[in-house]
Amino acid sequence: MTFQILGMGCAKCNLLESEARKAAEELGGGIRVEKITDLDTIQDMGVMITPAFAIDGDVKSAGKVLNKDQIIQFVKGGSQGLRVSNLRTTT
């Protein structure tokens, strides 16, 4: 499993990364934390506001900093997260 932090490196992005690392450590099982800073990749994932959090490419949150417990809840299935189609604006 890979936690993905999407953002350009702002303070909120860094805080989300820190919380994701804490959650990964608590959950164990070799969870990787990957930081994605490439704007094209972030937009291809349907994210228009950062920071964003994804698990294995599935965006769970955008525009806010999740805490460790919220991230753990996503892993345990307590929250469905966001669908990419819900993040994109159609014209």
Where do the domains of the chain lie, and which CATH numbers do they carry?
2-87 (3.40.30.10)
The rounded mean pLDDT for the chain is 88
The rounded distance, in Å, linking the Cα atoms of 56 and 28 is 16
pTM: 0.83
A 10 A CB-CB count for 24 gives: 21
The one-letter amino acid at 2: T
- Active-site amino acid positions: 10, 13
Give the confidence band of 88 by pLDDT, cuts at 50, 70, 90.
very low
The rounded distance, in Å, linking the Cα atoms of 46 and 58 is 10
The rounded distance, in Å, linking the Cα atoms of 66 and 52 is 9
